[in-house]
Amino acid sequence: MSQVDSDAAAVEEAGAERLGSAFIESYARLPVHFFSRVDPTRVADPTLIAFNSALASELGLDVHGLDPRTLAEIFSGNRALPGTLPIAMAYAGHQFGQFVPQLGDGRAILLGEVRDRCGRRRDIQLKGSGRTPYSRSGDGRAALGPVLREYVVSEAMHALGIPATRALAAVATGEAVYRERGALPGAVLTRVAASHVRVGTFQYFAARGDTDAVRRLADYVIERHYAEAKSAANPYLELLRSVMQRQARLIAAWMNVGFIHGVMNTDNMAVSGETIDFGPCAFMDVYDPATVFSSIDHMGRYAYANQPAAAQWNLARFAETLLTCIDPRMDGAIELATSVITDFSREFDEHRLAGMRRKLGLFTEEEGDPVLIQGLLDTMQRGGADFTLTFRRLCAAAEGVAGDAALDEMFADPAGFRQWSQGWRARLAREPQPGSEHAAFMRLVNPAVIPRNHRIEAAIVAAVERGDFTPFATLTTVLSRPYEDSDAGAAYTAAPLPEERVLQTFCGT
């Protein structure tokens, strides 16, 4: 080895050590039956597709001196970071209503946690990093397409201001994975989360009657996410209430941008209140409350309009796991927990209504607002209007800038929209702010661009079939500023043409 090569290797080794020193291992200090110790499986030829430098800086990760090749080695799992203790977490879950007592991280490995620049603990996890004790018959790998989809959508959700896991890196493995559609290029996603504790994590221990583990896990979650609950008269009831409130806000935020998760199983509900697992997710084009994209949701259990009820059902399952912590008297525990779960509908409705008022430029509250809002949604459904474009064009209409004609063309029956618009304008006239302020306010909450399914699919096809990651990189950049009108993003605002529509998405496992 030459001196130059030796010096470069020393710099890389020092960089890897610095990176590893940032990690802490609080979850790995819980009892051993909470997880399995496992190392990532090496891959043949890791190549860095994308690295989120801004997120790395936010996390306080020092990657100075680490070139793309080294980053690919680290974030594929090929190169161990000194000081980390990789684990696969155990959890259970209701999948489409059917309880599965053991699921767990079948293709994900938690490297550990770091404290970001705000002092918050954040998990860093490799997804698609090989078999674990929870893989069952799976290969523990991920195909390139689902990795790119999660990277794009999770970062877009963050840019939209919606709590979500983040994407730190995407690495091509140089190996094929085999699915129903044949051989596909493999990849590994590095995911960042407030934590990866799920409703299903609690269910795993509750199903085994391990009340001590449930209490230990609840204490961990309170310490990590809900410190204010420690001072409550009943900390575990307060934990339930806090999780419920975050979920109500989260689902309302989904609904207000037309997001459909696709697989709202209890193992896909993070108790931190973040959106997690972006397999068959999608954003609506034409507004229809019955919209389903997921290829496995045959009965529409997780259709757009059913998401609030699905979340409440999941929270009821979470409450069941906490009953012995809430009150040793079962009747008392059930009564207390039921009151919290029942309150979800009110919390959700408040957040949804507040969000929809903002989307329509309403600063004040009037009793008739829910009727006005539902009237627009009904008109959109009857007229086949695009969800995102309708609300964005209402921004221009609010200030009288060529908005009406652009809106008319959104509806198969413009007369129905015009009739609704008269009531909306009368409502705006009762607001204290001038129209220009309404429009500016509305543009802060009505995105110009969203991760439209056809755009994501085009980026995936380019990458998978041609090895071209330019559409993926461009899409990711455009979606990082969803509320801005820009020349670069103008082409991405349009709804798909009939032949471009993607009507089905897949979970990617």
| Alpha-carbon span 342 to 363, nearest angstrom | 28
**CB–CB of 48/169 below 8 Å?**
yes
| Alpha-carbon span 434 to 399, nearest angstrom | 8
DSSP-based three-state secondary structure for 138? coil
Q: Give the sign of the dihedral formed by CA 456, CA 462, CA 468, CA 474.
A: negative
| Alpha-carbon span 471 to 455, nearest angstrom | 9
In the residue annotation, 67 being an active-site residue is answered as no
Consecutive H or E run containing 93? strand 93-95
Neighbours of 487 (CB within 10 A): 6
Looking at 267, 285, 297, 386, which residue is catalytic?
267
Give the position of tokens 């702010």: 433
Q: Residue 215: how many CA atoms within 13 Å on its side-chain side?
A: 10
| Alpha-carbon span 246 to 311, nearest angstrom | 11
**CB–CB of 209/138 below 8 Å?**
no
Q: Give the sign of the dihedral formed by CA 421, CA 428, CA 160, CA 256.
A: negative
**CB–CB of 90/33 below 8 Å?**
yes
Give the position of tokens 């990789």: 86
DSSP 285: S
Catalytic residues: 267
